[in-house]
Each structure stands twice: as structure tokens, then as C-alpha cells.
Amino acid sequence: MRRAIFPGTFDPFTIGHYSVVNRALTFIDEIVIGIGINENKNTYFPTEKREEMIRNLYWNEPHVIVQSYDCLTIDFAKQMNANLIIRGIRTVKDFEYEETIADINRKLTGIETILLFTEPELTCVSSTTVRELLQYGKDISMFIPKGMEL
């Protein structure tokens, strides 16, 4: 069985994240959406709320597991018996960062990273931007998956 983790803060989970998960499910048997707990980040939603929102979104998808973690991503991957890491790439800057992390993860554990490029119409969507819109009371419904309740 091919099990992958899709790690991130997901504050909030966007249509870009949703697209990556759905595309990865075409070639991965099971995906663990790993919500990383990072005390250095100021999040809009508490971890429990992010878990709940994503679980509710995938309530009818048996190939998706949602789990938070507070360790290194590679340690989380090992805990979840995952042999792949899935990451979404929006820009060249994302690519350069992810390439470095993927190389380190592979050297330390042998776990491979698969980079999925964002669909062109979604490159402008980031959790940071969506979070800022939320803070100013703007409607973000076009940037989050249909059916996801905040």
C-alpha cells in the first residue's frame, strides 16, 4: 500500500490544498493530512478546529486520514508508516525551499517527496492571504473547498 503524508499548517485549508489531495489520491492509496503544530506560527484557527474542518470535509473519503503532529515531519511520516511525502508547489520560491527539504528528508530517512505543481488558476491562493482576508472580515468562500465550514 502506498501511504503518503501531506503536511502543512492548513490555516485554513484552501482550494489549493484540496486540489493537491484530490490529485494525489489518483496515484496514492491513502493520504494522511498532517497538521503540523508550530508554536512559532500565529495561527488564526486552533489546531482542533483545523482538524475538525478538514475531517468534516473528507468525512466520506476512507482514503484520507487527518492527524495533527508536533514533531519533525519525517518522524511523523515514520509514525504513520508513510513512505512518501506530498507537497504542493505554487512558485519557483516554493520549489527551491521544498527541494532542499526533500533532499534532507531523503538523506535522513529514505522517504521520497512528490511535488505537485498547483493548477495555474490556483497559484494566487495561499493560506496566508486567505487568513488575512478573514482577519478583515472578507468573504473567503471562493478560496476554500465547497462544503468546508469555518
Binding residues: 9-10, 17, 41, 73, 87-90, 98, 122-128
Q: How far apart are CA 117 and CA 109, in angstroms?
A: 24
First to last CA, the chain: 33
105 HSE (CA, 13 A, CB side)? 24
Nearest to 7 by CA among 93, 119, 98: 98
For residue 129, the surrounding DSSP H or E stretch is helix 127-135
Q: How far apart are CA 150 and CA 144, in angstroms?
A: 9
Where is the binding site for substrate, in residues?
9, 41, 73, 87
**Residue 141 phi, psi (nearest 5):** -60, -30
CB atoms inside a 10 Å sphere around CB 59 = 11
Where is the binding site for ATP, in residues?
9-10, 17, 88-90, 98, 122-128
